[in-house]
Structure 1
Amino acid sequence: MGILSRTSYVIRSKINALLNRAEDPTETLDYSYEKMRDELQQVKQGIADLTTQKKRLEIQKRRLEENVEKHNDQARQAVQQDREDLARKALEKKQAKMSQIEELDGQIARLQETQDTLVQKKDELQSRIEEFRTKKETMKARYEAAEASSRVSEAMSGVGDEMADVGRALERAEEQTDEMEARSAAMDELMESGALDDVLSDKDSIERELEAGRTNAEVDAELETLKAEMGKSSEPAEETEADTETEVDIDEEVVDEEVEAELEELKNEEESS
């Protein structure tokens, strides 16, 4: 096999493979069905044209037959008038018309035979088309069912192109999520251990702890000051019975005053509403 032959063979095989992948059997069946219907329509049109031609010949024959009767009448009238010459001419025309009628009969008969043959072929072709249509619809239904089943199987098994893409996308998303979770956990661990200083602060961990200690000392000092102002000391003191009674009275007065104030506030709210 020469280079050109091999190249031609390879090209034809490639084209054939492309056509096989691009071909939709249902579209091919529909196209074949439409072509057969076009052929049937052409046969019907041919029968119609043939019938029209036959009708024209039959009309022409009928007119000739009318002329034959006319020439017969002319010949009788000429004989009655003793005009043999006119009678002869009329009969000659009659014979010419009879010859034309005979020729038309032959043409009409041949057209009728052709018409009968075409009608028979048309009926056979129409029957084949109906049979092909039934097979076509059955085949299309089988193909569509097989195609749907194949798509479902590919989707369930994940071997289809689209499902494969979805699977890869899920894998990438899972990997990125795992990486982000690990990064977040690592950052939290570093922040808790103090290994990472606040990027917005120029203080290290020791300075922050010292500052927190100073803040706590200031809070303790302020708390002691408040206790001293309120007459309370952080050191425990012995309470006498009299002091206890005095404190109880004072507490009751304070409670009474708070209750009166709260009642007054409620009355003001009801009046204003």
Structure 2
Amino acid sequence: MVRPSRIHAQGNAAEGSDAPMAGIFERLSMIFRSKAHKALDKHEDPRETLDYSYQRQLELLQKVRRGVADVATSRKRVEIQGNQIGQEMDKLTAAAQRALSQGREDLAREALTRKSGLQAQLDDLQTQHAALAEEEEKLVRASTQLQARVDAFRTRKETIKAQYSAAEAQTRVNEAFTGLSDELGDVGAAVARAEDKTAQLQARAGAVDELLASGALNDPTGTFKDDISRELDAMASSASVENELAAMKTQLGLDAGPSEPAPQLEQGRQEQTGNDQA
């Protein structure tokens, strides 16, 4: 048999073990609500929120106006009923007068009794009519005030929407400029690298041209010759032609005559030797 104290202790232990779990669930719930709130806030468009709030106010204004119309209809119905009862009371008054003039006091009393009952109904209708008229007046004032608030909210709403759209556009422009600045920075760096490489290539090409012009570098293709070499080659070619022409004249028994190119070739060689010595 378990003692009550042990049962109470076990109950307290169970409650104590449930407390941490409850705390964990509460913290998880708070985290989920916080995440959901951040997600909703991230995707929330204030313009849509303002339009929705404005639509709700319009619906409320429409309900108030329907309430005014319903109260006015009820007031008019009570007013019509009161008029009908008033007309019936006038008829009973006339009937009582006719009966009394004819000596029928009993009929006159009956007519006045009915009139008295209708008077009670008329008093009740008049009370209802006054209450409905007061309620209608309150609703009309509320409708007017609400209409003014809705109009003011609409003006404020459009102003806020315009400001938000302008700020959004400005943010996009700033983001575009930021991206463009980064891109222009990359392009500037690329242009600077290209200019450096171009300058290096130009300097290298200029140095090679100077070395070739000075003769420090030999033309591996054998096509590079200076002016003196070309002149010497031309003189040698001319001397060879003249010598071959003289030999042909000798074979044919013609007067070969003096050969002019040979001294020129020799003179050219002497000039080349002098230049080399210099």
TM-score, normalised on structure 1?
0.58
Cross-structure match for 1:15: 36
* Count of residue pairs the alignment pairs up: 170
2:160 aligns with one of 139, 149, 155: 139
Cα displacement (A) at 1:9: 1.1
* Structure 1 residue matching 2:164: 3-state secondary structure: helix
Cross-structure match for 1:82: 103
CA distance in 1 between partners of 2:132 and 2:83 (Å)? 17
Cross-structure match for 1:150: 171
Cross-structure match for 1:128: 149
Cross-structure match for 2:137: 116
| Post-superposition CA distance 1:212-232 (Å, at most 9, x none) | xxxxxxxxxxxxxxxxxxxxx
After superposition, residues 169-184 of structure 1 pair within 5 angstroms as: none
| Matching residue's letter, 1:152 | V
Answering whether residue 115 of structure 2 is matched by residue 98 of structure 1, we say no
Cα displacement (A) at 1:6: 1.3
CA distance in 2 between partners of 1:158 and 1:9 (Å)? 38
Cross-structure match for 1:32: 53
After superposition, residues 1-273 of structure 1 pair within 5 angstroms as: 2-158=23-179
CA distance in 1 between partners of 2:146 and 2:41 (Å)? 29
CA distance in 2 between partners of 1:49 and 1:115 (Å)? 9
CA distance in 1 between partners of 2:28 and 2:125 (Å)? 63
CA distance in 2 between partners of 1:31 and 1:83 (Å)? 74
Gaps of at least 5 residues in structure 1 are 179-234, 239-273
CA distance in 1 between partners of 2:100 and 2:34 (Å)? 89
* Structure 2 residue matching 1:158: 3-state secondary structure: helix
| Post-superposition CA distance 1:87-137 (Å, at most 9, x none) | 111111111111111110000000111111111111111111111111101
| Matching residue's letter, 2:124 | E
* Structure 2 residue matching 1:82: 3-state secondary structure: coil
CA distance in 1 between partners of 2:148 and 2:116 (Å)? 48
| Matching residue's letter, 1:125 | L
CA distance in 2 between partners of 1:46 and 1:158 (Å)? 57
Cα displacement (A) at 1:42: 0.2
CA distance in 1 between partners of 2:99 and 2:34 (Å)? 87
CA distance in 2 between partners of 1:80 and 1:28 (Å)? 78
| Matching residue's letter, 2:25 | L
CA distance in 2 between partners of 1:15 and 1:99 (Å)? 64
| Matching residue's letter, 1:19 | L
CA distance in 1 between partners of 2:96 and 2:151 (Å)? 60
CA distance in 2 between partners of 1:6 and 1:96 (Å)? 71
| Matching residue's letter, 1:138 | T
Which is higher, the Rg of structure 1 or of structure 2? Answer: 2
Percent identity (aligned): 43
Gaps of at least 5 residues in structure 2 are 1-19, 195-243, 250-278
Cα displacement (A) at 1:33: 0.3
* Structure 1 residue matching 2:103: 3-state secondary structure: coil
| Matching residue's letter, 1:73 | A
Cα displacement (A) at 1:141: 0.5
